[in-house]
Structure 1
Amino acid sequence: MDSTNADALYVRGLCLYYEDCIDKAVQFFVQALRMAPDHEKARLACRNAKALKAKKEEGNKAFKEGSFDAAYVLYSEALTIDPNNIKTNAKLYCNRATVGSKVLAVFV
């Protein structure tokens, strides 16, 4: 409840991050860094969250454009960013499987 406690903000961000609410998590990490600019855990979590979101969005864009090989690679790269983020990774595995099924459909 304390919006000036960097550790509390960081933990709140982590909870959101692991619930696949990446944008909200980043907001809390940024707020934690405003309160404590040297908060290394918040800095690392923010960097990972942003990287994960960006890579997933790149994969989604490639998929929508029909670049299935690129989408597969991008989803695979996203999966390496944080193996502990089970909810987001589950979606990435699903997306990657969908890409695989699209590629197989082309050959059938």
Structure 2
Amino acid sequence: MVDTCGGRNAEGWVPVERRWLGLDRRSLTPTIMVAAIAVLLTFVVPLIDRAVPQDDPIRAGERLDLGGGIVVTPPAGWELESGIRVGDKTTVPVTAGTADAAFSGDG
């Protein structure tokens, strides 16, 4: 029989031997793991992202190949994030409708 009035046999009651600072010891390991992952995603990953340089500026007159003879000329000084420059050697040929390009500016 389960005593629901807060007695020693109440469901959810944790004996003092399994508590640390008033917390159930069984829940500390998962809590610490979740906190470590949160710290990793909040502080460590952005720190690594800022440490790795992403510097691939587009020079004046450079064009990006979108496949099928379609090219785009982004503004000079912007950063190329993904895409293939016209004249770059690639292992996979670019066909129409399969290529894309991404570039960004300061604004």
TM-score range, shorter chain: under 0.3
User: Could you say which structure has the larger radius of gyration?
Assistant: 2
Q: If each structure's helix is expressed as a fraction of its own residues, which one has the higher value?
A: 1
Instruction: Give the TM-score normalised by structure 2.
Output: 0.27
Instruction: Give the TM-score normalised by structure 1.
Output: 0.27
Q: Which has the higher contact order (CA 8 A, sep 6+)?
A: 1
Q: If each structure's strand is expressed as a fraction of its own residues, which one has the higher value?
A: 2
